[in-house]
Amino acid sequence: MMTSPLITPAQLQQLDPTKRIIFDCRFSLADATLGRQQYQQGHIPGAFHLDMEKDLSGPKGQHGGRHPLPTPEQFSATLRDCGVNADTLVVAYDDNRMAGAARLWWLLRYFGHDNVRVLDGGIKGWLACGGELSTAIPTSESGRFLAKANPHLTATMAHLQQGLDNTTLIDAREAPRYRGEQEPIDPVAGHIPGALNLPWQQLTNSVGCFVSAEVQRQQWQSLGALSNPVVYCGSGVTACVDLLSLAMIGVDNARLYSGSWSDWCSYPENSIATGDTP
């Protein structure tokens, strides 16, 4: 039986605090300091904060996108500082329809740690279920987590440049950005030729919980047959919500183009498509 990558607030409340480690993954692309500020104002008791720019991403360069993947050494050190071991159950949450939490979920799987769950509904769901918040900053003994990257979970720009033979490319950004009608972040608008569009926000409801697996399955089926799916977004963060959804419906071979649109459009020679046509 497939184990859900989600955990409900009620289930989290029932867990032995010594048997899991919680991470607060709140962030804002508009204000890099906001996630930490929110964490300090109140977080799920015992939760550590992970910064999107410093902890869940690596150093930026001319290419590679706005949120490159952290190195195995960097990610290992971050998780060890919070006491994570090879068998630790990790629970991730945020307040942005799973965007930050899904990034941590995907990174852990990419680095060889499958024992990870995303809190459905995030911190709002926790509060709605009667959960309390704390301002205490937790401490921990050093863990023994060792990150080992799995290249089979990623797709490179070179692969996409060579053609989409037997690959379904999915753009997880909002439809206006996919069509090239607006681009609030990156210098070029449009999408990678051949990409289909399934915006990441469609997979959750207004209170930040995933819609039912059946509704998700219907949304994916509306795109047509999914053959070796590769997902991208603006910088490799919100695409992880699409990847989490695919995992929920049993698609286990989906990959992330981690550099995403911010990497693709940094090369002037790359082709660009606009409008509703893939």
Task: Tell me the catalytic residues.
Answer: 233
Burial class (CB in 10 A: 0-12, 13-18, 19+), 85: middle
Least Cα distance to 53 among 78, 21, 29, 83 occurs for: 29
Eight-state DSSP code of residue 43: B
Percentages (nearest 5) of helix, strand, coil residues in the chain: 30, 15, 55
Q: Give the Cβ contact number of residue 74 at 10 Å.
A: 16
Strands laid side by side in the 255-256 sheet: 196-197, 168-171, 229-232, 255-256
Whole-angstrom Cα distance, residue 201 to residue 213? 15
Strands 89-93, 20-24: pairing is: parallel
Q: Would you give the distance in Å from CA 87 to the centre of its chain?
A: 21
**Cα–Cα distances in Å, from 182 out to 36, 155, 175?**
29, 26, 9
Q: Give the Cβ contact number of residue 86 at 10 Å.
A: 11
Angle formed at CA 261 by CA 258 and CA 264, multiple of 5 degrees: 90
Name beta bridge partners: 116.
Answer: 90
Q: Are 38 and 50 in contact (CB under 8 A)?
A: no
